[in-house]
Amino acid sequence: MHGDTHPEALKVLQEVFGYDSFRGPQQAIIRHVIAGGDALVLMPTGGGKSLCYQIPALLREGTAIVVSPLIALMQDQVAALEQNGVRAAYLNSSLDYHEAVEVENRLRSGELDLLYVAPERLATARMQMLLEQTRIALFAIDEAHCVSQWGHDFRPEYRQLSQLHQRFPQVPRIALTATADVPTRGDIMEHLQLQEAALYNSGFDRPNIRYHIAENQGNAKEQLLRFIREHHDGEAGIVYCLSRRKVEETAAWLERQGLTALPYHAGLPPEQRQHHQTRFLREEGVVVVATIAFGMGIDKPDVRFVAHLNLPKSIEAYYQETGRAGRDGLPADAWMAYGLQDVITLRQMQQDSSAADHQKRIEQQKLDAMLGLCEIISCRRQALLHYFGDHLDAPCGNCDNCLTPPETWEATVAAQKALSCVYRTEQRFGVTYLVDVLLGKHNERITRFGHDRLSTFGIGKDLAASEWKALFRQLIASGFLSVDMEGHGGIKLTANAKPVLRGEQNLTLRKPSNKPSKAKTARRG
């Protein structure tokens, strides 16, 4: 499939790295780079990107310069390489002056096969001079999506990497990423001047990961515990939360339920973080509860589940985080609970952010796409892959929507009631208030505003409060309503709401699950 064997490369694979054979397109990529070609490699997490530059580094003369955004990742990679007898080092802010000078000397005297460098360091005059004095085997640019504002992790320092090609035009470059939608891909090619590079796209599918996106029924922690007990008792997993406080709370709570659950976030002392990471890697059945600070570059093949207690900001982030499950290719789960509050919080955070308008719009679109993925009633994997420009012919059979097709309901009339209630109350109130008006509740605020005299007062008694909340979530998620930040998070109509209000558009929505949230806690008494 991928051409003839490359005997030297195979020999290095077996003798240095201890693997029998290449995976997927690895050999083709390695051959191309050894021959001096540029490459853009799109390969899912766990696909084996590192070998694509590590083997050419050993087979081309000189030192490979690897650009990598994360210090922790560099240290791990260098340690792993050294264990295999490869001469590798890194230069980043964690080294003191003398350590850095020592690495520089090793580089100059040709004693290194690979040097990992942080992008901001590469742009310095000192580093440029050093590179001039070095025989460079190749440049590898890891996490290449960081060069793109379209990417979910833009790093301005990456923009300067185009200089590498200008200054060292004869040195081959290989850019790698596990997450790049189509515009991001275009940006990578443009900003890194890789228009002529060979594109190796192994697709984004992770068939062994089963996707579930559940509705937060008011107590996501308990839903999570039930999911772990039923499917992953005693197995390793990662639980992502948005805030440090929630990380600590959740870890402590899971511990009390008898799990081994360790917190991990940037606010913990470095020794404690290191300790928890080590336990996760070495012990069996450890669950790490973390902010997104955890996971980049952690190579633990048997993570059996990744859970999200909050909605990620983009499909890229979701894909990258869930991608840490099942790197060994065995069945693994990506599980998430999300609810109305997630939608509101993220929308709010976005509005409040200090980013430029143009950047805000991009973030907005990414969040919309993520919300779309949560609310769809068809195959999640097809939608996920479609987002990355991939195509899956048939529904996957390995996501919640495929396995248990969601029930839907004709929500047009209910949506009209909800939207008119927003309109009649002058687009100034939050969901809780709106639901009270729909249900015809008499309370002080409603009376004060005279909303008990509105035509929409009490027209929603046919649905429960939880069902109205779910409907509002869906209407916000699908862009019929927006959250106004100027005021106090009041809900507003968008232009999309008009056709629904006028009866020109029907809405079929996922049926909210109306199981009471109490039932689940019974088992622990």
Residues that bind ligand ADP (CB under 6 A): 19, 22-23, 26, 43, 45-51, 299, 301, 327
Whole-number minimum distance, CB 47 to ligand ADP, in Å? 4
338 binds, among Zn ion, ligand ADP, none (CB under 5 to 8 A by kind): none
Whole-number minimum distance, CB 286 to Zn ion, in Å? 30
Rounded to 5°, angle at Cα 474 from 337 and 209: 35
Instruction: Please give the full DSSP string across 481-494, using - where no structure is assigned.
Output: EEE-TTTTS-EEE-
Nearer to ligand ADP, 297 or 430 (CB): 297
81 binds, among ligand ADP, Zn ion, none (CB under 5 to 8 A by kind): none
**Do the beta carbons of residue 132 and residue 108 sit within 8 Å?**
no
50 binds, among Zn ion, ligand ADP, none (CB under 5 to 8 A by kind): ligand ADP
Burial class from Cβ neighbours inside 10 Å (0-12, 13-18, 19+) for residue 2 reads middle
CA distances 129 to 123, 132, 167, 173, 244, Å, are: 10, 5, 11, 19, 42
Nearer to ligand ADP, 45 or 277 (CB): 45
Nearer to Zn ion, 49 or 380 (CB): 380
381 binds, among ligand ADP, Zn ion, none (CB under 5 to 8 A by kind): Zn ion
Sign of CA dihedral 275, 278, 284, 287: positive
**Do the beta carbons of residue 221 and residue 518 sit within 8 Å?**
no
By the rule CB under 5 A, 402 interacts with Zn ion? yes
Nearer to ligand ADP, 21 or 278 (CB): 21
Residue 511 token pair: 């049926």
Q: What is the DSSP letter of 152?
A: S
- Binding to Zn ion (CB under 5 A) within 354-383 occurs at 379, 381
Whole-number minimum distance, CB 300 to ligand ADP, in Å? 9
- Phi first, then psi: give them for residue 177, nearest 5 degrees: -160, 155
402 binds, among Zn ion, ligand ADP, none (CB under 5 to 8 A by kind): Zn ion
49 binds, among Zn ion, ligand ADP, none (CB under 5 to 8 A by kind): ligand ADP
313 binds, among ligand ADP, Zn ion, none (CB under 5 to 8 A by kind): none
19 binds, among Zn ion, ligand ADP, none (CB under 5 to 8 A by kind): ligand ADP
Whole-number minimum distance, CB 241 to ligand ADP, in Å? 23
Nearer to Zn ion, 27 or 382 (CB): 382
Question: In the structure, how many helices (H) and strands (E) does the chain have?
Answer: 22, 17
Nearer to ligand ADP, 202 or 250 (CB): 202
Residue whose C-beta lies closest to ligand ADP: 48
Closest CA to 113 of 92, 91, 133, 85: 85
CA distances 23 to 30, 64, 248, 295, Å, are: 11, 22, 39, 23
The answer for residues whose C-beta is within 8 angstroms of residue 131's C-beta and 6 or more apart is: 65, 167, 168
By the rule CB under 5 A, 471 interacts with Zn ion? no
By the rule CB under 5 A, 399 interacts with Zn ion? yes
Helix %, strand %, coil % of the chain (to 5) = 45, 15, 40
Provide the binding-site residues for Zn ion, judged by CB under 5 A. 379, 381, 395-396, 399, 402
